A = this chain, B = another copy of it.
Amino acid sequence: MLNKQVLLASRPAGTVTPDNFRIAEAPLPEPGEGEVLVKNEWLSLDPYMRGRMNDAKSYAPSVDVGALMVGQTVGEVVESRHPGFRRGDKVLTSLGWQLFGVAKGKELMLVDASRVPASYYLGVLGMPGITAWFGLFEIGKPKPGDTVVVSAASGAVGSVVGQLAKQEGCRVVGIAGGRAKCDYVVRELGFDACVDYKAGRLLEDLRAACPKGIDVDFENVGGEVLDTVLRAMNPFSRIVVCGLIAEYDATEPYGYRMLRAILVNRIRMQGMIVFDWKDRYGEALADLSARIAAGKLRYKESIVEGLENAPRGLMALLSGGNFGKQLVKLG
């Protein structure tokens, strides 16, 4: 049996294209002492992957050209030479864009797939959910009655942020692309309103949806969306800079013209990366699990089938063409 992998074939010049990837076959890896062979079942696609395709210095190293694309998966143990794992166990891994992989025991986390689908550990109970939890509560610090705006509101992070903020007693306004996503955000996720940035009246629509201004902006998009949101921020408001997906594919960085609002309105704008809280993931997971068990967190997955379609899935994610947490089903 052969392994199949997606490699970085070339660095994107702006928008990611299929040419930037190459599918390769490789021998099935063999686990050494203390290692585990995992058959990946779900691959998570996330905006941060775009950054890893660049050569630029960032908070994590780039993927080398010709190397395996990085990413988290959920899979099943097929062979274990580690006492903590048995054949059939479901595990969360960082094995990347491939069907099989070998990892050391400490690189794997057992997941309990008896009460929630295993794929949830890549989304609402994984990095996106934990990102939403720490970003909102530790940086956004919403108070009851605050107006909280969330961009990419139907996405893996945004959908959790909005539901958490709603449960804190906030007015929650999403920003999403297109009528279908906005309807979902309001009707299914329970946001108070959702502004369609594709409708071309972002500032007016945002002001109408936020009659008392904006107290917290949870920013996943950046670019013109953030520059417009800045115009409606209240004095002493907070901006959680979690993602700037609008910039990732751009060849030139966006020129933000509304920074003066930070001075005039004494805004606190702060960047975040989830692993800054890695010693505290348990706090977030316990709370998120409890909310899921109580039926309080809705969650949507956007699934492409087959490893060879992973590049297409990432391109959809980066252009806003997906809808919900983006996954690749490998099993």
A interface residues, Cβ below 8 angstroms from B? 58-59, 222, 226, 235, 241-244, 247, 252-273, 276
Contact indicator B244/A58 (Cβ below 8 Å): no
What DSSP secondary structure best describes chain A's contact surface?
Answer: loop
Residue of B nearest to A223 (CB): B259
| Closest CB in chain B relative to A284 CB, distance in Å | 17
A263 interface neighbour in B259, B268, B271, Cβ under 8 Å: B271
- In the complex, A254 Cα to B227 Cα: how many Å? 12
Instruction: Name 8 A/B residue pairs within 8 A (Cβ), A-sorted.
Output: A222-B260, A241-B262, A254-B257, A262-B271, A263-B271, A266-B271, A266-B272, A267-B271
Contact indicator B276/A271 (Cβ below 8 Å): no
List B contacts of A264 (CB < 8 A): 58-59, 271
List B contacts of A261 (CB < 8 A): 271
| Closest CB in chain B relative to A323 CB, distance in Å | 24
List B contacts of A254 (CB < 8 A): 255, 257, 259
- In the complex, A261 Cα to B270 Cα: how many Å? 10
- In the complex, A273 Cα to B243 Cα: how many Å? 28
Contact indicator A222/B272 (Cβ below 8 Å): no
A256 interface neighbour in B256, B265, B273, B276, Cβ under 8 Å: B256
List B contacts of A256 (CB < 8 A): 255-257, 259
List B contacts of A241 (CB < 8 A): 259, 262-263
List B contacts of A266 (CB < 8 A): 270-273, 276
